[in-house]
Each structure stands twice: as C-alpha cells, then as structure tokens.
Amino acid sequence: MEKTKIAVLVSGGGTNLQALIDAEKSGVIGSGEIALVIANNANAYALERAKNAGIKSAVVLKKECADQREFEQKIIDLIEENGVELIVLAGFMSILTEYFTSKYDHRIINVHPSLIPSFCGKGFYGLKVHESALAYGVKVTGATVHFVNEIPDGGEIIMQKAVEIQEGDTPEVLQKRIMEQAEWIILPQSVEKISKKIQSERR
C-alpha cells in the first residue's frame, strides 16, 4: 500500500528530524515516508540532515512575506504540490494560525518538550521550557506529542513520556535528557501510528 507522505517543518538543529529519518530507515516508521522538509530558517542544520538523507527541502522565510497569511500560504502550496498527507512540526519555532491549522484537522502533529498542560503555550519553546521547569522546581517533566489546532500546544494528546529531573540539572542538560529519553522515541512512534491510520482511512 502506498505510504503516507509526510512533511517535516523545522527551524534549527533538527535532531527530531534525524530521529524520524533514522526511524524510517530502521523500519520503526513503516507506514509513512518523509517526502519534504520545510525550514523557516535558511541556516537550519536540519536542512543539512535532509540533504544527507536525500530528502527534498524548501525554505520559507517570514521576512520575505507581506504577512503571516502569505507565509502560511507558501507552506500550504508546498504541501499541496507534494501531495503531503501528514505534517510534523519538529522544533518548528513559529506558531501557525487557524488559517493553516483548520485546513489540516488531525493531520498536523507537534512535539513539545514538557508534559502538557505544564510549561506550554505561547512563549514556551526550546530551552525556555526547561528553564521554567527548573525554576518551578518540578521533579518530573518529559515530552508530549499532540495534534495541532488553533490553540498553541492545545490539541489532543497522542503520546507522553515522563523524564526525571536530577540534582544540578541545567536547562541544556535537561533538554538533552528529554530528547534522548522521550522526544526521539515518542515522536517516531506517534508518526508511525498516525501514518498507519491515514493509510487505513485511504482504503
């Protein structure tokens, strides 16, 4: 059966993209294929990772668009031109509005580095999430994969995994542990689960 075509949206290092590429290679993702990588930053190392894996990529820059609507429309055009059925936000540091999200109901998933509903929503991204968790003093945090709707980090949860905070953790150390113990595991598993569902609905 034809695999679910996936687009991965990225902004930076792309370690979650790498986890998806590796999962496709190892067979953890068997129902989907990464067809396209879209970056909103021309210097994103994630673009190198796509190139090394032989995956088509594109850059869409907000500063080259008149407004948010045009930025989102350019991404929509790429998604439509490439027959993409599932959109994965993997460290994509730009909030998409309802104009975008309403077109792809239960077809966009995001990985967030905390246990939602803690440390999430507008302003909580990247290291800021881990700084907040450490400042609050929680002893357990983790990662969440969820569907994306018009509310930042507010869509239905697909998978979560807890990670313990250790004495002396810095935001950087904690970020790495959460990636290794949670994000790089539950993101590929969730992508496989949803890709398989899309495949079965196509029949």
Give the interface with ligand GAR as residue ranges (CB under 6 A). Answer: 12-16, 90-91, 111-113, 125-126, 129, 175, 179, 183
Chain residue whose CB lies nearest ligand GAR? 91
The catalytic residue positions are 112
Nearest to 87, CA basis, from 27, 35, 24: 35
What tokens were used for 53? Answer: 């894996």
Pair 91, 127: CB distance under 8 Å = no
User: Quick one: 15 or 40, whose CB is closer to ligand GAR?
Assistant: 15
Specify burial of residue 63 (Cβ count, 10 A radius: 0-12, 13-18, 19+). Answer: exposed
CB of 152 to ligand GAR, least distance (A): 8
Pair 161, 154: CB distance under 8 Å = no
User: Quick one: 161 or 199, whose CB is closer to ligand GAR?
Assistant: 161
CB of 184 to ligand GAR, least distance (A): 9
CB of 179 to ligand GAR, least distance (A): 6
User: Quick one: 16 or 132, whose CB is closer to ligand GAR?
Assistant: 16
- Give the β-pairing of 140-147 and 108-112: antiparallel
